[in-house]
Chains A and B, each alone.
Chain A
Amino acid sequence: MRRCLRALAVLLGVSLATFAVGHATGDPVALLVSPSASQAARAQMRSHLGLDRPLLRQYLTFLGHAVQGDFGQSFIYRQSVFSLVMARLPATLLLAGTAFAIALLIGIPLGVLAAARGGAAAAALQVFSMVGLAIPSFWLGLMLVLVFAVELRLLPVDGFGGTALILPSITLSLQSIARLGRLVMSGMTQALRADYIRTARAKGLSEARIVWVHALRNVLVPVVTMAGLELGDLISSAVVVEVVFAWPGIGRLAVTALGERDFPLLQGTVFMAGLGFVLINLAVDTLCTRIDPRMRRR
């Protein structure tokens, strides 16, 4: 319950910040009319959009509507912001989700293997993850496009759909793989040194079982916590990758909204993304408590 209240407080902060910044960006009317439009047309547009009411009124109205899922109409698309975001959200979720799955499927086993084998494997993972964290994701995207799409003609350059998902999700997943791999490796290294592991070995359990079942279980909590954060991070980093690969998700929508100073659309996107994060964190917290009862007594 307390957690829910905290989440609500956070959401309030998110809405405040979104609203406040949104109104510091300047005059949106300039962008919605052609540069040759008359003053009268602009004034009409201004009142049509409710921009001449006092700020506090505007915020409260915004908040009231937000809880009903009404973020107003996009200036450029002239459709409800909510429907625009919901239309593009699946694409971003698909991208982030695929990247997340790749990160889990590759990062965790890599970390486990590196910890179990030690020595050269561990060093290799360290190197790989350090390099992976240093490479800017959009640069990697451009390079992958250059190699796989342009030179080798194996994959599509951009667009939406099955094969077009491969390059962007790989690009997006790299940093998560690096972080997860390192976390799992360090956690597993420590876990494998514990007493009960030695006992298990003495008892004659197979090495594979020891590593993958007993040791891994102890690393689960921090991994799940970080995994939850990673998912949120992925959705955020997806913005740049979406731009490079022209993936029709909310990241690209937001960048378009930004260029055109589409207040409602921008506010709505950032707010809903914030809402998503809060929910994910809430879910992760709850999950952690389930896995490890020790966390309940915080």
Chain B
Amino acid sequence: MKPKPGHTKVFWFFFSKKNKTEASSFVPGALGAVLFALVALCAIAAPVIAPYKPTTIELRQRLMPPAWEAAGSSRHLLGTDNVGRDLFSRIVWGARISLSVGLAAAFLGAVIGSALGLCAGYFGGAVDTVISWLIEVQLAFPFTLFAIFLLAAFGGGFLPVVCVLALATWVNYARVVRGQALSLRSQDFILAAQSVGVGPARLLRRYLLPSVLPSIVVVGSFSAAQAILTEAALSFLGVGVDPTIPSWGAMLNLGRNYVQSAWWMAIFPGIAIAMTVLGVNLLGDWLGARLDPRAR
């Protein structure tokens, strides 16, 4: 393969047929990409796609079933909720919350986890001991309980939830990165840089980081999926992002009281979550297969 400059190298790396491990891994990957693109489209183009604002209340239209049912109307494709808001619009707008929470949490977790993992793997010794201890303590916690604990302490809301979710995922990055850093630090190019006098900070940033980046991306996709699911669970338990913004988890929490009378309120947000998580997971799987060093 001829070396290509900068960003196009990355692009071709992903799409060049020569780098595929199995032909069959392409289909799920493509499906994942399609699902994710769909959700991303909803998030980005929500004002255009959604027929109503997610907060428009129409009391006299409350609890209308989806359009294909007898009592439904074509004005509300998936029906309305308990105060008459259009469910389809809310689901489309909800993509923004779920995606932004998921991506923000994955990103924050990546930053924290990778930084700590790199330090632990590269410096070793006391630093490694402390960080490994932190990782084990974190893993020893029944996470859902701890998350509720934290969120009740600091209130719900976007920022606290993102922080708590980042707290859930940083360990994934840390462990992987630490392992890789451990094996990389004895490699030639690192030793060479050290002998030339490159400082640790620069070493970490310029030399180690790019090598672990592919793993971070793969872990990142799974962490984002995990974050989206956990956000939904937290909203369901009542300690998530503000219940007044239409996050899918909050919609599930609301719909749970109407499971028998207005089933559409609970089913469709759940499907949305499942689709998104599935898409992200499939993408992550595909990325993992392509970035797996053993396959090259």
Residues of chain A whose beta carbon lies under 8 Å from any beta carbon of chain B: 6, 9-11, 13-14, 17-18, 21-22, 24-26, 123, 126, 130-131, 133-139, 142-143, 145-146, 150, 232, 235-237, 239-240, 243-244, 251, 254-255, 258-259, 261, 266, 269-270, 273-274, 277-278, 281
Contacts and interface: CB of A to CB of B under 8 A. Distances in A.
Contact of B278 (A9, A131, A243): A131
B145 A239 contact: yes
B86 to A, nearest CB: 21
B277 A133 contact: yes
B278 A142 contact: no
A240 B282 contact: no
B141 A239 contact: no
B25 to A, nearest CB: 10
A235 B146 CA distance: 13
Contacts of A123: 24
Interface stretch (B67-75, B178-186, B189-197, B231-239): B231-239
B263 interface: yes
B260 A240 contact: no
B136 A6 contact: yes
Interface in B16-43: 24, 28
Contacts of B149: 18, 21-22, 25, 258, 266, 270
A186 B153 CA distance: 42
A258 B140 contact: no
Nearest to B230: A136
A21 B150 contact: yes
Contacts of A14: 137, 140-141
A134 B140 CA distance: 24
Contacts of A126: 28
B259 A145 contact: yes
A254 B148 CA distance: 9
A258 B142 contact: no
A18 to B, nearest CB: 8
A138 B248 CA distance: 13
Contacts of B127: none
B288 to A, nearest CB: 12
A242 B28 CA distance: 33
Contact of B232 (A18, A21, A136): A136
Interface stretch (B7-15, B213-221, B268-276): B268-276
Interface string B139-174: 111111110111011100000000000000000000
B274 A134 contact: yes
Nearest to A6: B136
B134 interface: yes
17 contacts: A10-B136, A18-B149, A24-B153, A25-B153, A26-B153, A131-B278, A133-B278, A134-B281, A139-B274, A142-B252, A150-B259, A235-B142, A236-B143, A251-B144, A258-B152, A261-B152, A274-B142
Contacts, number: 139
Given A9-B133, A21-B149, A130-B278, A270 B141 contact: yes
A270 B150 CA distance: 12
Given A21-B150, A134-B277, A254-B148, A10 B233 contact: no
Contacts of B270: 135-136, 139, 142-143
A134 B278 contact: yes
Interface residues of B, number: 45
Interface string B207-230: 000000000000000000100010
A18 B149 CA distance: 9
A14 to B, nearest CB: 5
Contacts of A24: 153-154
Q: Among the interface residues B134, B140, B154, B232, which one has the most CB atoms of the partner chain A within 10 A?
A: B140
Contacts of B140: 10-11, 13-14, 274, 277-278, 281
B256 interface: yes
A143 B239 CA distance: 22
Contacts of A134: 225, 229, 273-278, 281
A126 B289 CA distance: 14
A139 B139 CA distance: 25
B226 to A, nearest CB: 9
Given A236-B143, A239-B145, A254-B145, 4 more contacts: A13-B134, A240-B236, A255-B237, A270-B142
A242 B252 CA distance: 16
Given A6-B136, A240-B233, A255-B148, A136 B141 contact: no
List 6 A-B pairs, minimum CB-CB distance, nearest first: A13-B137, A139-B270, A134-B278, A236-B142, A134-B277, A25-B153
A196 B141 CA distance: 41
A25 B151 CA distance: 9
A136 B142 contact: no
A269 B145 contact: yes
Nearest to B276: A134
B102 to A, nearest CB: 13
A270 B146 contact: yes
B45 interface: no
Contacts of B239: 258
B145 A273 contact: yes
B78 interface: no
Contacts of A138: 232-233, 236, 252
A261 B144 CA distance: 17
Contacts of A145: 259
Contact of A133 (B24, B142, B153, B281): B281
B141 A277 contact: yes
